[in-house]
Amino acid sequence: MAKSSTKQSARRSLLALIVVILGLGALVGGLAKWGDGQAVPRLGLDLEGGTELVLKPQLNDGQTVNEGQVNRAVDIIRQRIDANGVSESEISTQGGQNIVVSIPGAPTPEQLDALSKPSQLRFRAVFVEAVDPNAAQAGSTVNPGGTPTPSGTSTGTPTGTGTATSPATGTPSATATPSGSSTAANGVVPQAFAAATTAPTPAATSTGSATATPAPTATTPAPAPTAPAPTAAETEAAIKTQASTGLVGLGWTKAKADAAAATVAKQYTALNCATPGAVDKIKDDPALPLATCGEDRVTKYVLGPSEIDGSEIADASSGYQVGPNGQPTSIVEVALSFKDAGKTKFAAVTKRLYAQQSQPPFDQFAIVLDKSVISAPRSQAVITDGRASITGSFTIDSAKQLAEQLKFGALPISFALQTQDNITPQLGEEQLRIGLLAGLIGLLLVVVYSLIQYRALGMVTVLSLVVASVITYLAVTVLGTTHGFRLTMAGVTGLIVAIGVTADSFIVYFERIRDEVRDGRPLVAAVETGWKRARRTIIAADAVNFIAAGVLYFLASSNVRGFAFTLGLTTLIDLIVVVLFTHPMVQLLARTEFFGNGHKWSGLDPQRLGAKESVRYRGRGQFGAPGAQRPPATVGSARVAEGKAQA
């Protein structure tokens, strides 16, 4: 029964290994055919070459850049590049201002944008929100009070009042003034503000009494006269009044508010959101009001000074939003959490906005990323825990990109791409061939040693190394597509060193089995006992290797990190191969006649190993020395022999 159970356990382990290999192979093939993957590992800068980018800081008149800002920018750019794994890029400074970035392969437009984008996230109060007339949006109107209000594009909350009278006394009438974020439909909205983007049905209140009078003749109400479009001067005056009111609400003096409002009103009227690059030319001073556009390049805004910036964000992550039942939904979100100071500021801002719900758009709060408004929702709650969720027309990739930019902080200054050149491999294919040849020689030496030392049992070592190589190849290929991992010469060195690490595990296990055979145990029992003792040693040795690899990865430079990554990866693969292949194979081989009877070429010959010639009970009344080739003596013959010896 135990024999059958051991066989089944060994077969299940081998089947699990086959599933792992087939799964990795299918993943490689799927990524290569339907994704942006390839069937071979990606190579690093030293083996494949790549692209050299020179980033030049964009400075305003009179602005300077210091060494601290450049060093901080280098750190942030390095974090952005390495966000998806070990990409083995090289980053340095040039002339104390420019930043030189060397990237393996050819960078995508998204990667170029991520390198130089400042990603400055600011939260500003909304004073004015309107559809830019230059965008040729139908139905855009301007309220008489001076607040431009889009019609047909806003998804904010309408408020309405209605008075219905009997047919004999009047004509039904209703008015509604929408006020909300025109970007809410296709922008991003914090979860705490999500209710602001759903327009409820306006409630109507009815007054009057029915009278017994004949039904009147239906009449068609006369169309309301169309108000003439305001002139540029009228629009600017209305914007100035609205902005000044908002600034005074923030605690500014009337004189200071009027001066700043006059400036931002001129900027507003001159701004054409339909012009490509219009936002890039805007000067963003966090202490002053701002005239800018939404990401849709349709909506124009006048915003107040920055009240919270991206440096107050403690963490940012992306994923699918969790529903009320605790299950993930199909909504992609970027979750933000603020630091202590930002949490206090955010609570104070939402409290002020919540109190101004009756005065739109002063109850709106714009989320501004790189001078563009990504959302301007209304505050319908006071957020005191400092947690917000940005949702909208995100994909998983775009949400991940935004979360990484916010998490790694904003560049202290913005950069523009000055030059982009292709660079040749630093080592090239010749060095790669030499490295692979060195690895092949090392592998052959391990195989030769295993066959000499363990004879036929050494074939298990060879097969285990082959299995480990296949899994490593597939894993490195998959990681190259999913996490941007690139194989450098340092990484190749880590793979070569891993051959010795894997061989050590086999030697520990095989020597434990041979020690048990020397002590006189049958081979099947020696395999199980030897595995129990060797397993602890193998796990301890691999744990030490993995810790060393982890320390190197987190503390060393980029080149050494590549070595540490491959060393840690192959250490984990070594454990998988020993548990799912080496041990099960030896379990099955121990039950064959060739290995079980201790053939002299099996590597487990008791006589060659110097096994003790102790007599052991074999079952069914039989005794004999382990590994003995002669027929075992019976109980009766053993007693006769004992009697003769006594005589």
Please give the pLDDT value at position 575: 93
The pLDDT of residue 41 is above 50: yes
Residue 181 has pLDDT above 50, yes or no: no
Give the count of beta carbons closer than 10 Å to the beta carbon of residue 303. 27
Is the pLDDT score of 629 beyond 90? no
Strongest mean pLDDT among 136-150, 283-297, 536-550, 628-642 = 536-550
DSSP 294: B
CA dist 293 and 302 (Å) reads 9
DSSP string for 356-387: TTTSTTTTBEEEEETTEEEE-PBP-S---S-E
Per-residue pLDDT at 510: 93
What's the pTM value of the predicted model, to 2 decimals? 0.58
For range 486-508, the mean pLDDT: 87
CA-to-CA dists, residue 550 to 520, 545, 556, angstroms: 42, 9, 10
Which of 9-23, 314-328, 422-436, 492-506 has the least mean pLDDT? Answer: 422-436
Cα(334)–Cα(339) distance, integer angstroms: 16
Lowest mean pLDDT among 13-27, 206-220, 360-374: 206-220
pLDDT at residue 487 in the model: 86
Q: Do 368 and 44 meet the contact criterion of CB atoms below 8 Å apart?
A: no
Pull the structure tokens for residue 211. Answer: 């009278």
Report the mean per-residue pLDDT for the chain. Answer: 76
Question: How confident is the model at residue 180, as a pLDDT?
Answer: 36
Q: Residue 589: what pLDDT?
A: 92
**Alpha helix locations (H) across 455-522?**
458-482, 489-518
Residue 232 has pLDDT above 60, yes or no: yes
- The tokens describing 482, both together, are 């999913």
SS (H, E, C) 397-438: HHHHHHHHHHHCCCCCCCEEEEEEEEECCCCHHHHHHHHHHH
> What per-residue confidence (pLDDT) applies to 359?
86
3-state secondary structure of 316: strand
Q: Is 193 left (phi over 0), alpha (psi -120 to 50) or beta?
A: alpha
pLDDT of residue 221: 53
pLDDT by residue (tens digit) across 258-273? 999 999 999 999 988 8
3-state secondary structure 97-151: CEEEEEEECCCCHHHHHHHHCCCCEEEEEEEEEEECHHHCCCCCEECCCCCEECC
Q: Nearest Cα to 498, choosing from 569, 576, 552, 570?
A: 570
401, two tokens: 């990109």
Decide: helix, strand or coil at residue 469.
helix
What 3-state DSSP class applies to 255?
A: helix
